[in-house]
Amino acid sequence: MNFEPFITCAVTGSGNTQGIHPDLPITPEQIANAAIEAAKAGAAIAHIHVRDPETGKGCRDVALYREVKDRIRASDTDVIINFTAGMGGDIVFGPGEHPLPLDPAGTDMVGPMERLNHVQELLPEICTLDCGTMNFAEADYVMTNTPGMLRTMAAEVQRLGVRPELEVFDTGHLVFVKEMIRDGLLDDPVMIQLCMGIPYGAPDDPLTTMAMVHQLPAGSVFSGFSISRNQLPFVAMAALAGGNCRVGLEDNLYLGKGQFASNGQLVERAAQVLTGMGARLLGPAEVRAKLKLTKR
């Protein structure tokens, strides 16, 4: 059991949820306000994607990231800023017997350095690296992160002095993380996010979760989350496994059956679970010290 965990809130994500949740944060102002709301509820870290304000779809616009960061830093609420670096690795094949040409509506594939444009310009405290290529539930969509891409991105993030959060969706991703540690591409402390229950990655049952935990690199700091209705129960699972937790509208839209949640409500419920288990939540300053971060 981790009796001093921290909470990350993933406030909006990039999935096709804008037509489902009536109050999903979409504009930079809404995303910044969601991060501030989450921080006031007890989150130490805000994990941030941006969306096209016109369509609601995920995008990579540096100006949108800049506005979100500026709005958060102009507030009177402290929170650690964690930008995704996952955008720009989306391939959608054509259907059936015609995988080529790729579907232009869903494909967004750029080079590894272009995927880091917003990180290079804005220097968040943390940015995420998705540590492998994986099929998702959508029929012809592939999240694409080759070893070469990831090594290039890890080296650049290390040069920038930004802490990478290594998103791990399956056991093979942990193998690759250990190779990057071996090759000097990751500085201590290594920060890992176990992303459980996502088709077709590692399931979120306790045995699989603990198998992943037992394969973590020595000395790493890890968090864990699951999706949909298992998000809030997994808060307890992650803490019991010795880790930290993540909640938020990126991974789950509901507080209860048929009840849409806000990011603040999900963080409040996670905080209730953790404090009810006897834990003390770490704030942003304590997490910065733990992860050796520099506020910018």
- Overall residue count recorded for the chain in this entry: 296
Cα–Cα distances (Å) from 239 to 98, 167, 200, 209, in that order, read 46, 18, 24, 12
What are 145-190's pLDDT values in tens digits? 999 999 999 999 999 999 999 999 999 999 999 999 999 999 999 9
Residue 127 maps to a domain: yes
- The predicted model scores a pTM of 0.95
Residue 60 maps to a domain: yes
| pLDDT at residue 294, rounded to an integer | 87
In this structure, what CATH number is given to the domain that contains residue 31?
3.20.20.70
Identity at 84, one-letter amino acid code: T
Percentage of the chain exceeding pLDDT 70: 100
Whole-angstrom Cα distance, residue 152 to residue 149? 5
| pLDDT at residue 139, rounded to an integer | 84
| pLDDT at residue 15, rounded to an integer | 87
Residue 159 maps to a domain: yes
| pLDDT at residue 16, rounded to an integer | 86
| pLDDT at residue 136, rounded to an integer | 81
Percentage of the chain exceeding pLDDT 90: 93
Residue 247 maps to a domain: yes
Whole-angstrom Cα distance, residue 140 to residue 254? 27
Residue 2 maps to a domain: no
- Please state the φ and ψ torsions of residue 178, each to the nearest 5 degrees: -65, -35
Domain that holds residue 62: 7-291
Residue 236 maps to a domain: yes
Whole-angstrom Cα distance, residue 36 to residue 28? 12
| pLDDT at residue 215, rounded to an integer | 96
Domain count, the chain: 1
**18 — pLDDT class (breaks 50, 70, 90):** confident
What are 267-287's pLDDT values in tens digits? 999 999 999 999 999 999 999
Q: In whole angstroms, what separates CA 65 from the centre of its chain?
A: 15
Residue 246 maps to a domain: yes
Closest among 16, 19, 42, 5 to 263, alpha carbons compared: 42
Residue 296 maps to a domain: no
Is pLDDT at 14 greater than 80 in this prediction? yes
What are 231-258's pLDDT values in tens digits? 999 999 999 999 999 999 999 999 999 9
